[in-house]
Amino acid sequence: MLITELLSKNATLYPDEVSLVEREPSIASRREITWLEFENQSNKIANALIDFGVKKGDKVVLLLMNCLEWLPCYFGILKTGALAVPLNFRFTAEEIKKCTATAEAKIFIYGPEFCERIEKIKDELSFIDKFIFVDAVSQTNAAPCSKLKNNLANKFSDRYVTYAGLLEKYPSDAPDVEIADDDEAALYFTSGTTGMPKPILLTHSNLMSACITENKHHHQTHEDNFLCIPPLYHTGAKMHWFGSLLVGSKAVILKGVKPEWILEAVSEEKATIVWLLVPWAQDILNEIESGRLNLDDYELKQWRLMHIGAQPVPPSLVHRWKEFFPNQLYDTNYGLSESTGPGCVHLGVENIHKVGAIGVPGYGWEAMIVDDAGNPVPDETVGELIVKGPGVMKCYYKNPEATAKVLKNGWLYTGDMAKRDKDGFIYLVDRKKDIVICGGENIFPVEVENYLMTHSDIKDAAVIGMPDKRLGEIPVAIVETKDGRDVSEEELLEFCNALPKYKRPRKIIFDKVPRNPTGKIEKPKLREKWCGIKEALFV
């Protein structure tokens, strides 16, 4: 069965039941759609795309903030046999252009928050056949976007349509497209240590495997209600929701991460499952401990599971959490976009005594820790974590060299260094890739380093992740200035304001940047010197 067929099944079994809720607390907005409305909207978008000439194997970009329209658009694309290409909403205009061109997209779906970025690259998107604008759905972004929206509508002329207009024009009949399990379904962009986005090719079978794995791990039933806060462009959030899709249970999309908004949503919507990132959980605990949040003000007894993914989880956080929520189940999940999101390794709700580990192989998955030659290493020995299972990507799109480096005999080489204890539980100890994970967002040091090197006073620069109680890691820049030059930390931090906010270094350290004989920055030395990290990062 395909995940598009799961949607159709739910529309048949539960047509009048609510499938998705969108809450935007900042403007006191709440919207919802039923399973039948979800299915009908997806069919209408699919029929519109087919009318625009979209065929099996074509690519459709999806650039939206979390909203009620996100998933109907995604499923509409899948129903045509085309590939959905969700883009990170933090991408710059240049990154959006590059990823769209790399994917060879024909259709571009975007929301009001991206008008300014699209305006910058509009003349370079001549290869796009149709731009679908998902109308402003909140008062907060409608006004600023109005002028730019009109400019883009005029620029794109007959290539410009609106989501609302398509829903009015096209029928809700299911499109007649034959799709097989092994057909290609989506491209998800990731990046390596070079910071250059690489598109990961996933099949319909990959997506369906995520539904099964997630449901087996967290035992969703039709009575559950999943509160979704992380961005839907990321495999993590969506693939966790897939476990709810499998049983036709309700989900709530929350726009905003304030602790009181999260608890209000859990309480008022009767959410039973919540996936949090480390900083959000930290914020909730801090507000409770300070007395600014009173748990007695909320109905939380139905909240049965809290799980965290996307970054290493400090054991101290879980211990603090259990003090306030002793009856709540807890799980952590490990995964990559290359493994169709989380679940190839997971702790398991029954294994909280092993907090600190990422867990054991997930349902239907195998995992090994190997040396540089690909041979298994003994317990308690650090090696590279490799996984094999139904979610392993097909390949990096049109990049056989990169694919060959990570896919070997069916095994996915994760690039993460780990060790296994005598009980079979896996612990991450370091990463081959020097990606900094700050609040669940990947920051690629080379991008920041390259930018810093454009400053006239800087001789050399390195960026590392410094442990942070709330965000997991923060980006810190070690800067070596040119002889005789004098520049302050404040000046460099201001210089970095040109970078996207999440990529900006939080601290500047003036020091010599060590490099090995081949010219590579010796980041382990920097982490040891400035972070006190010699071997284990997060164990």
Q: Distance of CA 363 to CAs 210, 311, 359, 426, 477, Å? A: 10, 20, 12, 15, 40
Question: Final residue of a domain: which of 431, 457, 487?
Answer: 431
Q: State pLDDT tens for residues 437-490.
A: 888 887 878 778 878 988 989 888 999 999 998 898 999 999 999 888 889 999
Domain-embedded: residue 508: yes
Phi, psi of 303 (to 5 degrees): -75, 100
Domain-embedded: residue 490: yes
Residues 6+ apart with CB under 8 A from 488: none
Q: Which domain range does residue 316 map to?
A: 257-431
Here the CATH number for the domain that contains residue 446 is: 3.30.300.30
**Stronger pLDDT, 372 or 35, i.e. the higher one:** 35
Cβ burial, residue 148 (10 Å; 0-12/13-18/19+): middle
Here the CATH number for the domain that contains residue 272 is: 3.40.50.12780
Domain shared by 446 and 382, yes or no: no
Domain-embedded: residue 212: no
Does the structure show a pLDDT above 60 at 396? Answer: yes
d(CA 55, CA 50): 7
Domain shared by 266 and 379, yes or no: yes
Q: For the whole model, what pTM was predicted?
A: 0.84
Domain shared by 416 and 475, yes or no: no
Domain shared by 83 and 196, yes or no: yes
Domain shared by 384 and 324, yes or no: yes
Q: Which two tokens stand for residue 504?
A: 């900006």
Residue 318 C-alpha from the chain's centroid:
22
Domain shared by 336 and 472, yes or no: no
Domain shared by 49 and 186, yes or no: yes
**What pLDDT shows up at residue 221?**
98
Number of domains in the chain: 3
DSSP-derived 3-state class of residue 81: coil
Q: What share of the chain is helix, strand, coil (3-state, %, to 5)?
A: 35, 30, 35
Domain shared by 97 and 185, yes or no: yes
Confidence of residue 286 (pLDDT cuts 50, 70, 90): confident
Q: Which two tokens stand for residue 436?
A: 């900094």
Does the structure show a pLDDT above 70 at 311? Answer: no
Domain shared by 419 and 470, yes or no: no
Question: Final residue of a domain: which of 382, 400, 431?
Answer: 431
Name the residue with tokens 């961005």.
231
Q: State pLDDT tens for residues 153-206.
A: 777 778 899 999 999 999 999 999 999 999 999 999 975 434 567 899 999 999
Q: Work out the angle at residue 30's Cα, subtended by the Cα atoms of residues 24 and 31, and round it to the nearest 5 degrees.
A: 120
Domain-embedded: residue 246: no
204-218 and 3-13 helices, crossing angle to 10°? 60
Domain-embedded: residue 225: no
**Stronger pLDDT, 282 or 404, i.e. the higher one:** 404
Domain shared by 71 and 189, yes or no: yes
Domain-embedded: residue 479: yes
- Range name among 84-98, 131-145, 516-530 with the lowest pLDDT average: 131-145
Domain-embedded: residue 75: yes
User: What mean pLDDT is reported for the chain?
Assistant: 90
Strands (E), 152-266: 160-162, 184-191, 197-203, 225-228, 250-254
Question: Final residue of a domain: which of 398, 431, 464?
Answer: 431
Domain shared by 389 and 473, yes or no: no
Q: State pLDDT tens for residues 41-79.
A: 999 999 999 999 999 999 999 999 999 999 999 999 999
Domain shared by 51 and 194, yes or no: yes
**What pLDDT shows up at residue 531?**
87
**Stronger pLDDT, 101 or 142, i.e. the higher one:** 101
Q: Distance of CA 106 to CAs 79, 133, 177, 480, Å? A: 16, 15, 18, 45
Domain-embedded: residue 264: yes
**What pLDDT shows up at residue 270?**
98
